[in-house]
Chain A
């Protein structure tokens, strides 16, 4: 019983950590997007510099955030997300299917 409770807490702890990572990702995403868009794009459009045909601000802010977030999400999910059983632990006596 004690054992089961501990494992239950561990699942919830993992869930809380991963939800916070999600919040962290969106904050990073927003800052990246905002900084490049308005940092590089606020000047006179006639004087923009271009990368691969796109205005510099657009390249970094829009294309950049799409690429960087895809990579970052993949990396973080693969490295830091833990597999846990989502169903309730089986009732008394069936400890086998619940390895630590």
Chain B
């Protein structure tokens, strides 16, 4: 156990625990528990909004997996990672004010609430809830594995101990503090991610003897490390461009991000959030992946990609600073996991329990039910993560792409196309999800693009066709804004 390395981490864990306690005061005092616990009473300001958007999105793959691939691939992977820049502004501008206004009119607390009210359909609600639970659950498990492995490799403690430390700290503040604790800890976690990236980038450049020197070393090893096509020359422009769907515009379909787009206080918060978020996401994604490439010049020969970031941090920084920087990936993982946990819990409590089982539940029942549900989900994920599946990124991207192809069109058409109806939404969700799973298994990276592209296209076509064919049918009148 290296004490200098672990002090920053300890301080950080204690800090987020106190935020959980502070948020719990709001949870205890609030007039509407469900709105406070699952959406923080729609009170986020611009800075917190940007931080929680960025920290929820930025995960193990941004800090561990991504730099590892950049290490193997070179600047081509940094180019690919820049497809994430729209994550900063696109989700918030495109969902934008229309989503915020409608969410308030519908009194929506979850994405499912929004879809259910917009399409007036229980089938849509059930489908939405199930896919959120299934996909976000698998995503959460993958992140927990990442978090525990990271603690394991930094401190040399056993995987199980690491997982317990990680699980306990996350579960406690999420259970007691709800969405407010999640978003305010995201602000701390986001700051750690931002400054950690900056510190490490500078340190790696210095350790490598300057940028020119690093580039020369890379060119000597393999000139294609500094080309847009990757070390093996196999990153085609089409493939790299298709990531603009997966990690750029497609993010509109992610429930954990959409729920944040209905949680801010006012227009000003949204405006500031868009600006800050663009800078935060841009700097972190660019910085971390560039660090991965530079690490190759500083410390060649790391075989396991997941070890690149921790190894290089401990090599180029003194222990105390290394502790701060290594808190960054941990923060990235925690801030994703806490958002997923509260989103899954909201799906169970708000969408299933209150939506179908017991709509007349009392405030007290809801309160106890919410605390219990959140804790139980956390504990189940803990046990799943004990015998972890491999391929962290693979699982993570699977949940990503699956959710995007399921939700993107029901959300977008629901907002901006008056003729969109529940037939369209249901067919788009079924086709989006099943085609993603089938293609991922049978024909991954179809036509040289990331797997997500074709399911999103199919989902769009089926939505439009189904809505057209059924227009005028059924009970749904054409949608009005009011």
- In the bound complex, what is the Cα–Cα distance between A30 and B90 (angstroms)? 12
Q: Is B241 an interface residue (CB 8 A)?
A: yes
Q: Tell me whether B481 and A65 are in contact (CB under 8 A).
A: no
Asked whether A30 lies within 8 Å of B244 as measured between CB atoms, the reply is: yes
Instruction: Say yes or no: A54 contacts B211, CB within 8 Å.
Output: yes
Interface size on B, residues (CB 8 A): 53
B481 adjacent to A66 (CB under 8 Å): no
- Nearest to B215 among chain A residues (CB) is A53
Which chain B residues lie closer than 8 Å to A63 at the CB level? 286
In the complex formed, the residue of B with least CB distance to A45 is B223
Give every chain B residue within 8 A of A62 (Cβ-Cβ): 75, 78-79, 82, 286
Given A45-B226, A48-B226, A73-B89: 18 more A-B contacts, CB < 8 Å: A16-B416, A18-B93, A19-B94, A19-B98, A21-B93, A23-B94, A25-B86, A26-B86, A26-B248, A55-B227, A58-B78, A70-B282, A73-B274, A73-B275, A82-B267, A83-B266, A83-B271, A85-B267
Which residues on the B side are within 8 Å of A34 (C-beta)? 237, 241
Interchain CB contact (< 8 A) of A54 among B83, B215, B274, B278: B215
Scan residues 12-30 of chain B and give those whose CB is less than 8 A from a CB of chain A: none
Please pick, from B104, B226, B279, the residue contacting A58 in the complex, using a CB distance under 8 A.
B226
* CB-contact partner of B85 in A8, A41, A57, A65, under 8 A: A65
* A87 to B244 Cα, complex, angstroms: 33
The answer to whether B268 has its CB under 8 Å from any CB of chain A is: yes
Contact surface of A with B, Cβ cutoff 8 Å: 8-9, 11-12, 14-16, 18-19, 21-23, 25-26, 29-30, 33-34, 37-38, 41-42, 44-46, 48, 50, 52-55, 57-58, 61-63, 65-66, 69-70, 73-74, 77-78, 81-88
Which residue of chain B lies nearest to A42 when distances are taken between CB atoms in the complex? B228
User: How many A-B pairs fall under 8 Å by CB?
Assistant: 148
How many angstroms from the CA of A82 to the CA of B96 in the assembled complex?
12
In the complex, which residues of chain B have a beta carbon less than 8 angstroms from the beta carbon of A33? 79, 82-83, 85
Residues of B within 8 A of A52 (CB): 211
B283 on interface, CB distance cutoff 8 Å? yes
A57 to B255, CA, bound (A): 35
CB distance A38 to B267 under 8 Å?
A: no
Q: List 20 A-B contacts (CB under 8 A).
A: A11-B97, A14-B97, A22-B89, A26-B89, A26-B90, A26-B244, A29-B85, A33-B83, A34-B237, A37-B228, A37-B237, A38-B228, A41-B228, A44-B223, A55-B215, A55-B227, A62-B286, A65-B85, A70-B282, A74-B275
Whether B278 lies near A8 (C-beta < 8 A) is: no
From residue 459 to 482 of chain B, which have CB atoms closer than 8 A to chain A? Answer: 481-482
Closest approach, in angstroms, between the C-beta of B266 and any C-beta of chain A?
Answer: 6
Query: Hey, which chain A residues are within 8 Å of B227, CB to CB?
Result: 41, 45, 55
Q: Is B389 an interface residue (CB 8 A)?
A: no
A45-B224 in contact (CB<8A): yes
Which 7 pairs, one residue from A and one from B, show the smallest C-beta to C-beta distance?
A22-B93, A53-B211, A45-B223, A15-B98, A15-B97, A83-B267, A53-B212
